[in-house]
Amino acid sequence: MCAAPAARRTPALVRALLLLALALAALAAGVAAQRRPPLRARFAPLGDVALIPRLLDAAPLLDHRDSASLLSRILVPRVPGTAASQRVADALLAPFEASSKSGGLGWHIERLPFVAQTPHGKQSMTNLVVTKNPASPRRLTLAAHYDSKIMPKGFIGATDSAAPCAILVDTAMALDRALDAAERRWAKEGSGGDVTLQIVFFDGEEAYEQWTHTDSIYGSKDLAQNWTRSAHSPPHAPLVGAATLSTSRFSMLRPARHIDTIEHLVLLDLLGAKSPQIPSYFHPTAWLHDKVRSAQRRLLDAKAFWPPNESSRSGEDWFNGHSWGGIEDDHLPFLAGGVPVLHLIPSPFPRVWHTMGDDASALDYGTDYGWAMIMRLFVAEYLGLGPDLAATAQPSVRDAAEQARRAQEAQREEQIRAGAAIDVEPQGPRPRDEL
């Protein structure tokens, strides 16, 4: 007697299950549609690497021999919490602030203060985070530390890590207009562009006394901890491609931890001295290490690696070999959080490491210039900026000369046309020396 009601309910239950299955299938399809191809497949090599030096003159940022350059101005002791540290932070952020006022899409700039417990008591420190499009759901994060050792007194740390900081500023500024153009292109196409560029300057990397797990990397530990505990919530941003993708992605899935938005962390340290040797430290990012090595080789082949006045300098291979052991550095808290890391640090360390000799005399401008070209090319290919670079590159010396020649020809033709109009007027006999 009870079977009939159950039988009547069966069709309704089937319909409900069918609707649920269809909804889940639609959700899965939507998520799958937002997945980008594997990074290796979308890492598009740039056809004309000769464009890279023409994106921006590197000297005003990197030439330590010029007292007005950014690198020269930050070659000072930068102990956390000091007035000098504040001035260096201001100098590092000034190009990003100027870019944001120039009519482009700008940069999202964050000063993130925190207090660290050190062997010298509580110390105030500040991490600096600069993001091209904070609404983007993924980041390629480039990082270096901007502080210097407290001892020996007066320690500067040119390779450790003033030069890497200046190289990162150059990378961002050289690609700034191309990044803006790419965002607008992605918005128009309605696809791509869900990875943005982020720059992090860590404070408090150095130990106050002797390097230990507790007396070191204060800034990266604080930032990784905060980003592990917080969810990525895209702020209000212009309606460009990345913003739309971000809203779509996170409306269907659980909120992602902030740290999970980092697709790769590329950490630079102890760079700027001649002939560094950079092994691959982590198997999951060995292929990215190969990409960086390829970038150097192609730049050398195109004679676009060294500064123009050093173009005859011999080629070098900075990325040969592998390391079987890691180095304690700012990447460790992010590695523990599951972030893939490419660590660009030489092994062995520069001979001036942690000595008073790590000052301007330890730097080689050609090497810093080469690092800037490598990072520009690597990031441009990682983010797929190839279609946007040509329109933002400055003309080469050859192109400028050709443009000047054409302008002179046009001016000459105009003068000829003007002269032909005058020649219509009757003229007397020409002097004998003109016959």
- The residue with greater pLDDT, 401 or 301, is 301
Cα–Cα distance, 13 to 146 (Å, whole number)? 63
Cα–Cα distance, 136 to 268 (Å, whole number)? 23
Residue 217 has pLDDT above 60, yes or no: yes
Q: What is the pLDDT of residue 334?
A: 98
Write down the catalytic residue from 176, 183, 194, 205: 205
Write down the catalytic residue from 269, 316, 359, 388: 269
Q: What is the pLDDT of residue 21?
A: 64
Mean pLDDT of the chain: 84
Main-chain phi, psi angles of 335, to 5 degrees:
-60, -40
Residue 247 in any domain: the answer is yes
Q: What is the pLDDT of residue 252?
A: 43
292 closest CA partner among 273, 279, 311: 279
Cα–Cα distance, 290 to 288 (Å, whole number)? 5
CA atoms within 13 A on the CB side of 221: 15
Q: What is the pLDDT of residue 1?
A: 42
Give me the residue label for tokens 């905060």.
226
**Mean pLDDT of the region 52-75:** 98
Q: Would you place residue 54 in the very low, low, confident or very high pLDDT band (cuts 50, 70, 90)?
A: very high
Query: Contact 249/318 with Cβ under 8 angstroms?
Result: no
Provide the Cα torsion 375, 381, 385, 386; round to 10°.
Answer: 110
Provide the Cα torsion 280, 282, 287, 292; round to 10°.
Answer: -40
Residue 163, token pair as written in the block? 């030069």
Query: Contact 181/202 with Cβ under 8 angstroms?
Result: no
Element (H, E) at 130: strand 121-131
Residue 8 in any domain: the answer is no
C-alpha separations of 317 from 72, 170, 367 in Å: 27, 22, 12
Query: Contact 136/243 with Cβ under 8 angstroms?
Result: yes
Residue 279 in any domain: the answer is yes
**Per residue in 335-360, is it b (16+ CB within 10 Å) or e — as a string?**
bebebbbbbbbbeebbebbbeeebbe
Q: What is the pLDDT of residue 2?
A: 45
Pairing relationship of beta strands 195-202 and 138-145 according to DSSP bridges: parallel
Identify each DSSP E strand in 333-409 by its residue range: 341-344
Q: Tell me: the pLDDT tens digits for 139-192?
A: 999 999 999 999 999 999 999 999 999 999 999 999 999 999 999 988 888 766
Query: Contact 269/144 with Cβ under 8 angstroms?
Result: yes
Q: Which residues contact 34 (CB under 8 A, 6 or more apart)?
A: 194, 245, 248, 249
Residue 362 has pLDDT above 60, yes or no: yes
Residue 73, token pair as written in the block? 């101005």
Global pTM reads 0.82
203 is catalytic: no
378 closest CA partner among 38, 3, 44, 21: 44
Residue 320, token pair as written in the block? 């040969």
Q: What is the pLDDT of residue 24?
A: 56
Query: How many domains does the chain contain in total?
Result: 1
Handedness of CA 415, 418, 424, 428 (dihedral sign): negative
CB-CB neighbours of 433 under 10 Å: 5
Residue 280 in any domain: the answer is yes
205 is catalytic: yes
Q: What DSSP state is assigned to residue 424?
A: T
C-alpha separations of 49 from 241, 295, 359, 380 in Å: 26, 9, 32, 10
Q: Which long-range contacts (CB under 8 A, 24 or more apart) does 10-13 make?
A: none
Residue 65 in any domain: the answer is yes
Residue 38 has pLDDT above 70, yes or no: no
Residue 40 in any domain: the answer is no
Query: Contact 88/434 with Cβ under 8 angstroms?
Result: no
Query: Contact 302/49 with Cβ under 8 angstroms?
Result: yes
Main-chain phi, psi angles of 264, to 5 degrees:
-150, 145
Q: Tell me: the pLDDT tens digits for 307-350?
A: 999 988 988 999 987 776 679 999 999 999 999 999 999 999 99
Taking each helix axis from N to C end, the angle separating 241-252 and 3-34, rounded to the nearest 10 degrees, works out to: 150
Residue 311, token pair as written in the block? 């173009």
Q: Domain span at residue 366?
A: 46-396
Lowest mean pLDDT among 19-33, 140-154, 291-305: 19-33
Query: The domain that contains 98 carries what CATH number?
Result: 3.40.630.10
Q: Which residues contact 154 (CB under 8 A, 6 or more apart)?
A: 77, 356
Residue 59 in any domain: the answer is yes
- 3-state SS of 40-67 is HHHCCCCCCHHHHHHHCCCHHHHCCCCC
Residue 56 in any domain: the answer is yes
